[in-house]
Each structure stands twice: as C-alpha cells, then as structure tokens.
C-alpha cells in the first residue's frame, strides 16, 4: 500500500489542522516511511508506538527556539502516527506496545489488509482520496502545485478557514 498512506495522511492532516503553512510533504514521508520495514523483512520498530514518540521528542528538542523548523519537522511524527492508524498496526498489541510486553520486536506479517483484494481496494480508495484532494485544494493549478512541490504548502485561499461558510449570525 502506498497511495492509501500518502493520500489519506495528506487529506486527514489538511482537514484536521487546516494550516496552509504545514509541510505536507513531510507528513506524507512519515506516513510511508514504515513501509520500508516491510520490504526489509517484516514490521519492526517503526510499527511501534515508541518510534513516533521518540521522533516527536527528537524534533521538539532539536528545534527549540526555531519555530519554522519545528513546524516543518513536526509533520514527520504526525505521519508516523497516521501510519499506525491507517495500517492497523495497533491490532498487534505485542508489536504496537513494544517493548512493554517483551524485548523481541518484529517478525511476521501484519494480519490486517492481507488479502490482495483488500490491498487493491485500499489503493483505489487512496487514489480516489488523492484525486479529491487535488480538486479540493486546487492542486491542478500550476502555481498551487508548484508551491506544494517546492515548499509542501497549500494555497491559503484553498483552506477551509478562509472559505465563506454562509451568512454570519449576530
């Protein structure tokens, strides 16, 4: 699964944080980073709750006093947390809560999303969510897409907080 993680992490973070200044590329990187472990032979440390917590602590300590750097790199642990949710890694408590229930980590497959039909369905959902996001955030526009690729940002005019929501009540 690739598009499932990329698109859903982007859409969820954009909807929840509603921030044009967040670097969505870093969020998306964090959401696919644990896939490397699966290629390397199975789920390991990046499939545990400890990994995003450690990355979060490192980002917070390394960016003290540097607000813009912090804003950029906070996307990495956010993406790692989203991977755990979207992959269902939390279903394997021995792996998810490592090292709380033993020192051994890794090995085996993740039981969820194992049938090929489920993997294909999730990738199609990811592609559909990506298509929706391109339309919703105006990424088909060359300048907006360039801004997204160069800085990981969205155009402020496309964010939900800046769009009219109907008549104001007094």
Separation of CA 31 from chain center: 4
- Whole-number Å distance between alpha carbons of 129 and 8: 7
Q: Tens place of pLDDT for every residue, the chain, 170 residues? A: 789 999 999 999 999 988 878 899 999 999 999 888 877 777 778 888 999 999 999 999 999 999 889 988 999 999 999 999 998 888 888 788 887 877 676 555 554 456 888 889 999 999 999 999 999 999 999 999 999 999 998 988 877 754 544 454 54
Where along the chain do its domains lie? 3-156
Q: Please choose, from the candidates 4, 9, 74, 84, the residue with its C-alpha nearest in 3D space to the C-alpha of residue 48.
A: 84
Give, as one character, the DSSP assignment of residue 158. G
- Its sign, for the CA torsion 28, 15, 161, 157, is positive
Closest CA to 79 of 46, 15, 139, 32: 32
Please state, in angstroms and rounded to a whole number, the distance separating the CA atoms of residues 59 and 120. 34
């Amino acid at each position: 699964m690739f598009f499932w993680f990329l698109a859903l992490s982007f859409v969820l973070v954009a909807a929840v944080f509603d921030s044009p200044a967040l670097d969505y590329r870093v969020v998306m990187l964090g959401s696919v980073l644990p896939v490397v472990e699966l290629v390397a032979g199975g789920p390991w440390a990046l499939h545990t709750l400890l990994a995003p917590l450690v990355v979060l602590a490192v980002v917070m300590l390394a960016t003290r006093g540097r607000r813009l750097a912090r804003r950029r790199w906070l996307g990495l642990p956010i993406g790692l947390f989203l991977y755990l949710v979207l992959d269902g890694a939390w279903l394997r408590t021995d792996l998810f809560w490592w090292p709380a229930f033993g020192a051994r980590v890794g090995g085996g497959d993740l039981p969820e999303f194992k049938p090929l039909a489920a993997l294909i369905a999730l990738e199609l959902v990811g592609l559909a969510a990506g298509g929706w996001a391109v339309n919703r955030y105006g990424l088909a526009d060359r300048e907006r897409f360039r801004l997204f690729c160069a800085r990981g940002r969205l155009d402020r005019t496309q964010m939900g907080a800046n769009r009219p929501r109907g008549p104001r009540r007094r």
